[in-house]
Amino acid sequence: PKFDTVVINGVLVSASDVSSNCIGIKDGKITVLAERFSDDDLRGAEVIDAEGAYVMPGGVDGHVHLCQDLQTGPHGLGGRCADDFLTGSRSAMCGGTTTIITFATQTRSEPDRSLLGVVGRYKARADATGSYIDYGFHVIIVRDDGDVLEEEMPRLVSEWGITSCKLFLTYETQRLSDKQLLNVMYEARKNRITTMIHAENGDAIEWLTDKLEERNKIAPYYHAWSRPPAVEGEATNRAIALAELIQNPILFVHIGSALAMKNVRKAQTRGLPVYAETCPQYFNLTWNDLKKFHDPSCFENSKMICSPPPPPDASDADELYLGLHNGTFTIFSSDHCPFRYDDPHGKPTGVLEHAESMTGEPEPESCLDGHALCDLVSRKTGAFKFIPNGIPGVETRLPLLYTTALQTGRISPQKFVELTSTNPAKLYGLYPRKGSLMPGADADIIIWHPDHSFVPFSLTNDRLHHNVDYTPYEGQQFTNWPRYTLSRGQVVYRNGQITGKVGYGQYLKRGQSQLATAQGRKQDPRRVADWLYE
């Protein structure tokens, strides 16, 4: 047959166009787009009727934590990662995502000096279960070892196709000083590795945390008070200044405040190659969600702790939507960072082993509802600073944005595709193989339900396919959901059923970023420190 599979009656959406075309798929690739197919074309092919619904390139989620190491100590990420490559990729694909980029994390331990060693270890974790969908790695660099960076960065690119690294300005166990940041960014730039920056001022957070503790404000809710928008505001400005100094393109991960977004916008207006990511939690949660369980002192509220925290109230989200629309945000990722609530090393009780380190800490009030786990934890001093930061969301990323932004007219269908698929593919060197419906691209495709025939429902965690025992979006109304997910031409998810196979997903060697190139201005000799790169 001419095609293995065809998609007919769809409204195709790319980052630039909406068109009524059929898709012909052969050997895992899109081979033909045509207004219609003849009977001859269709012979022997599996025909998928989209019934007038949107058809989009599969989601590319550039920010997913799977199998990540437990890191201990105050302000460390802490906790046991609930999802491995099996459960994490399963959850992604059931929400319309066909590519995930996860983190291979260096630690400060001596054996982790070698980035290649770290990556090999994470690859083995992926191989241990296999993945349902294609995946790649970013590296997280928490050390400034000049010899390692010089020797290994070129090999990360050539041997592994890893062309991006994440750097932290906060967390005792991860953060780089300004000088270290410059060192690592400089080496990264020489190798055309995109630097992703977690921009929160670690000193400000520690200082505020001390002040909150002095006042016994240690319940989960106060996690947000320890990270008000100014914390992200300062760190974004500082990173922009340092990156400009050495002409390094940067991408801010998980921007959560309108303040930081405006800093990014200003830098972009000046022609600097500054990119930004934002995530569902900054549109759908607020500080109030950190006190929604039982009563404000109940440690079940730890389920909602992520960094940066959600914004204070919904007015920030209104501004953030503008940033999605006007291009300030380059990508929309999940920051899926999964911890279970019932795991002793998960959400509330990751605290237990550190309880003794809190010398002379007054006992917090226990939950007024007498919630058992909550009491147990609060008795052990479950201060927010010991609670692992992160919430799940790889499966809800696309349907949530579809429901709250596309269907409400806040963003166009094209912008939806740009933010969730095309731009992450370009930014991370996967385009046009991923993030595109052009002939030659991998046949990674989502087909939605026709809006008019979808029966809205309210989300419960049992519908999801991650290994986390809660969702922050419990009770949220959804007005659409991916009906089919295709990965390299195979239907891996259909009408709520998993049809894919674990182990089918392939490791992706990525190329250079295709975004950080032209900058819309002449180079300014006073600004440009060319001698650094001679």
Q: Are 175 and 197 in contact (CB under 8 A)?
A: no
Q: Please report, as a single letter, which amino acid is at residue 220.
A: P
Interface of this chain with ligand DUC, residues 11 to 30, rule: CB under 6 A: none
Q: Are 358 and 381 in contact (CB under 8 A)?
A: yes
Q: Between 390 and 424, whose beta carbon lies closer to ligand DUC? A: 390
Q: Please report, as a single letter, which amino acid is at residue 333.
A: S
Q: Between 198 and 466, whose beta carbon lies closer to Zn ion? A: 198
Please state the closest distance from residue 421 (CB atom) to ligand DUC, in A: 20
Residue 374 near which of Zn ion, ligand DUC, none (CB within 5-8 Å, type-dependent): Zn ion
Please state the closest distance from residue 253 (CB atom) to Zn ion, in A: 6
* Interaction between residue 141 and Zn ion (CB under 5 A): no
Please state the closest distance from residue 64 (CB atom) to Zn ion, in A: 8
* Interaction between residue 268 and ligand DUC (CB under 6 A): no
Please state the closest distance from residue 242 (CB atom) to ligand DUC, in A: 20
Q: Are 434 and 425 in contact (CB under 8 A)?
A: yes
Pick the binder of ligand DUC from 261, 337, 425, 492 (CB under 6 A): 337
* Interaction between residue 435 and ligand DUC (CB under 6 A): no
Which two structure tokens, joined as six digits, stand for 234? 């300062």
Stretch that binds Zn ion, among 81-89, 180-188, 295-303, 348-356 (CB under 5 A): 295-303
* Interaction between residue 61 and Zn ion (CB under 5 A): no
Planar angle of CA 307, 82, 165, nearest 5 degrees: 50
Residue 354 near which of ligand DUC, Zn ion, none (CB within 5-8 Å, type-dependent): none
CA 337 and chain centroid, separation: 8
Q: Please report, as a single letter, which amino acid is at residue 494.
A: R
Tell me the CA distances in angstroms from 290 to 27, 79, 221, one per residue in order.
Answer: 48, 19, 5
Q: Between 294 and 494, whose beta carbon lies closer to Zn ion? A: 294
Please state the closest distance from residue 223 (CB atom) to ligand DUC, in A: 11
Q: Are 9 and 49 in contact (CB under 8 A)?
A: yes
One character per residue 298-327, x = contact with ligand DUC (rule: CB under 6 A): --------xx--------------------
Determine the Cα–Cα distance for residues 180 and 142; give it in Å rounded to an integer. 9
Q: Between 151 and 369, whose beta carbon lies closer to Zn ion? A: 369
Which two structure tokens, joined as six digits, stand for 8? 């007919």
Alpha helices for 270-403 (secondary structure H): 281-284, 314-326, 372-379, 397-401
Helices 258-269 and 314-326 meet at what angle, rounded to 10? 20
Please state the closest distance from residue 307 (CB atom) to ligand DUC, in A: 4
Positions touching ligand DUC (CB under 6 A) are 77, 198, 253-254, 306-307, 335, 337, 389-390
